[in-house]
Amino acid sequence: MRKKTVVVTGGAGFIGSHLCDRLISKGFKVICLDNFITGTPDNISQLSKNKDFIFIRHNVTTFIKIKGNVDYVLHFASLASPRDYLQYPIQTLKSGSLGTHNALGLAKEKKAVFLLASTSEIYGDPLVHPQTETYWGHVNCVGVRGCYDESKRFAEALTMAYHRIHKIDTRIVRIFNTYGPRMRLQDGRVVPNFIYQSLKGLPITVYGRGEQTRSFCYIDDLVEGLLRLLARGVNSPVNLGNPREFTILQLAKLLIEMTSAKSRIVFKPLPEDDPKQRQPDIGLAKKILKWQPKVCLAEGLTKTIAWFRENI
């Protein structure tokens, strides 16, 4: 019996590489595409000798050609850190637009199931809390974060157009803050930033008064949700994230305690359009996917800190 083949764009990134691991462990053949703009060969080195894993260095903003059967196309190629998309706004827009178009074209050609990795950022600085999939968002399309927010909003619209017009079986996952091993040491997102600063004894930079909230989902929980979504046949967007909400200041203090750091907290001005609240309503995922996070923040941070200690 032929093994089912999955193409993962951005497969050498943080989430993509964990997804490749799980797919291989479940008996799939995986074709990983990445151009290493933010991904790294180290993230997939453990799969390099696996006969069911193929890596192709490729920029998804150009045409994607894959020989043979493809059963699933999972589009995770994106610059997801504020530090990255502020530095590379045009590349961010192109991966969300041209990249999504090319990935959907591959799914159409192969008659494959398509999954789009979207983001909680499509909700912008939300006026509804917690955020449900029916909320349309509050986004500054011409602000500095608009390159990421709008690229994902466009990607969702394009995905649904291909679903309606070309009858492609599609999935859209709106991913909330996720953390874990393999995040870049100075990624620019809050968890790796705080861990790196704590372990180095550097001042921990909190923006504003640290009262803005985030919810933090451990990578293993997210990947489980992604695989369930892929299998369940839900075409409309689904939130995946941990609904437990923490302030940024609470996170900073917790990491100082967990790392026994000598770091002090310093406060800096809030970045432009920084969301004040971020918390997923995961009622839909609970109902349809029978999914909810299992790893508490302290447990997930313990594993993540251990990985950072080894790689810093």
Establish whether 148 is a catalytic residue: yes
Other CB atoms within a 10 A radius of the CB of residue 54 amount to 15
Give domain status of residue 184, yes or no. no
My answer on whether 135 and 194 are in the same domain is no
**Tens-place pLDDT, residues 184-233:** 988 889 999 999 999 999 999 999 999 999 999 999 999 999 999 999 98
Q: How far apart are CA 184 and CA 311, in angstroms?
A: 10
Q: What pLDDT was estimated at residue 303?
A: 98
**Tens-place pLDDT, residues 2-33:** 899 999 999 999 999 999 999 999 999 999 99
Q: Looking at residue 141, which CATH number applies to its domain? A: 3.40.50.720
Angle at 263 between CA 259 and CA 265, to 5 degrees: 115
My answer on whether 152 and 34 are in the same domain is yes
**Tens-place pLDDT, residues 239-257:** 999 999 999 999 999 999 9
- pTM, two decimals, is 0.96
Q: Looking at residue 272, which CATH number applies to its domain? A: 3.90.25.10
Cis bond before residue 130 (omega within 30° of 0): yes
Identify the band that residue 312 occupies on the pLDDT scale cut at 50, 70 and 90: confident
**Which one of 119-128, 166-175, 178-187, 264-273 scores highest in mean pLDDT?**
166-175
Give domain status of residue 151, yes or no. yes
Mean pLDDT for 128-142 is: 94
- In total, how many domains does the chain have? 2
pLDDT at 307 over 80: yes
Q: Is 254 exposed, middle or buried (0-12, 13-18, 19+ CB in 10 A)?
A: middle
**Which residue range forms the structural domain that includes residue 307?**
190-211+245-277+303-311
Strand 29-34: give its sheet, edge to edge. Answer: 53-57, 29-34, 5-9, 72-75, 113-119, 170-175, 237-240
**Tens-place pLDDT, residues 39-82:** 999 999 999 999 999 999 999 999 999 999 999 999 999 998 88
Strands 204-207 vs 265-268: parallel, antiparallel or unpaired: parallel
- Which candidate in 72, 85, 123, 148 is catalytic? 148
Q: What pLDDT was estimated at residue 252?
A: 96
Q: How far apart are CA 145 and CA 273, in angstroms?
A: 7
User: How many helical (H) and strand (E) elements, i.e. helices and strands, does the chain have?
Assistant: 9, 13
Q: What pLDDT was estimated at residue 243?
A: 96
Q: How far apart are CA 149 and CA 144, in angstroms?
A: 10
Q: How far apart are CA 234 and CA 252, in angstroms?
A: 37
Mean pLDDT for 107-113 is: 98
**Tens-place pLDDT, residues 153-179:** 999 999 999 999 999 999 999 999 999
Give domain status of residue 163, yes or no. yes
Q: What pLDDT was estimated at residue 188?
A: 85
Q: Give the residue carrying structure tokens 């199931």.
A: 113
Q: What pLDDT was estimated at residue 277?
A: 86
**Tens-place pLDDT, residues 70-94:** 999 999 999 988 889 889 999 999 9
My answer on whether 135 and 78 are in the same domain is yes
**Which one of 110-119, 123-132, 266-275 scores highest in mean pLDDT?**
110-119
Of 175, 174, 181, 148, residue with least CA distance to 13: 181
Of 14, 182, 152, residue with least CA distance to 85: 152
Strands 213-215 vs 245-247: parallel, antiparallel or unpaired: antiparallel
Contacts of 11 (CB under 8 A, 6+ apart): 17, 19, 20, 30, 32, 33, 34, 39, 44, 55, 76
Would you say the C-alpha torsion 64, 68, 70, 76 has a positive or negative sign? negative
